Amino acid sequence: MRAIGKLLRLRRRSDKVKLALGLFLLGAVLGWDVAFGAAGFLMESGEPVEYVLAWGGNEASLEGKLRAVSQHEGVICASRQREYSLVMGERQLTVIQVSPEYLSACFGLRTSGAGREFFLGSRSYASFCGAGEESPARLKCLMGEEGVSGTFTLCGGLPVTAAMAKGSSAELGDSQTLRVMLESGGIEGRNGDWLMELGFSIENQELLTEAAHRLELLQARLSYGGLACLLALALGVQLFAAGRRESG
């Protein structure tokens, strides 16, 4: 309490001390902003990431590559994938069909095996099934020229624009596209480089571009924010010392 009282007296007597305290506060705010930004970036880079892989080789070698990807360290699951569209009136939905193992391992989704089942994120569900439609909804729609009916379930664990469905070995067997989920994208978003070394091309390259851009922004934030924080604190120390001398 005595130290606080002495500080308040110095503040009343010296404008330099007042300015120094303001600089200390500014330095603390800048330091918090830098730390908060770094922590947020580290959390994001540690989140699971999905890559869509295209294979340009022969079918026989793809099966071996799929096994190699599935067994690689840091891979949650890998599956062949197929995309198709469902149409209901003027509404259209792009569905990603993957193995039941992928749905279970990556999203915790269990299929009943009774009829067609579709799992939708919140935005996809609202736009295709209707915002007020109770989940699960049973709907009839078109898949190409074929009429199909199925159960559409709203799933909070899926990305909001996602629409997933189970695919059998026969349905996915001729697909040249894989979907793989990694435990994290890494600090630089380059945890998937080994996939390209196996001969795959990454179709959703925007994930790599976004990760590199976030890293550049963080580096700038750390550089300029950290420097400004140190300058504010250093100048605050000098002003405080000068004000303290002037006040006797």
* Band (5; pLDDT cuts 50, 70, 90): low
Residues 34-84 pLDDT 10s: 888 888 777 777 778 888 998 877 776 888 888 888 888 889 999 999 999
Rounded Cα distance, 137 and 140, in Å: 10
* Band (14; pLDDT cuts 50, 70, 90): low
Q: Look at strands 91-98 and 177-182 and give their pairing.
A: unpaired
pLDDT at 86: 92
Say what the pTM is. 0.75
Distances (CA, A) of 167 to 73, 89, 96, 118, 215: 25, 25, 9, 11, 37
Q: Are 177 and 82 in contact (CB under 8 A)?
A: yes
User: Strand (E) positions, 102-156?
Assistant: 116-120, 137-143, 146-154
Rounded Cα distance, 66 and 88, in Å: 34
Is pLDDT of 2 > 80? no
* Band (222; pLDDT cuts 50, 70, 90): confident
Residues in the chain: 248
Percentage of the chain beyond pLDDT 90 is 23
* Band (207; pLDDT cuts 50, 70, 90): confident
Burial class (CB in 10 A: 0-12, 13-18, 19+), 189: buried
Is pLDDT of 143 > 90? no
pLDDT at 6: 59
Three-state DSSP at 88 gives: strand
176: left (phi over 0), alpha (psi -120 to 50) or beta: alpha
Q: What is the mean pLDDT of residues 182-194?
A: 73
- Average per-residue pLDDT in the chain? 83
Rounded Cα distance, 2 and 115, in Å: 77
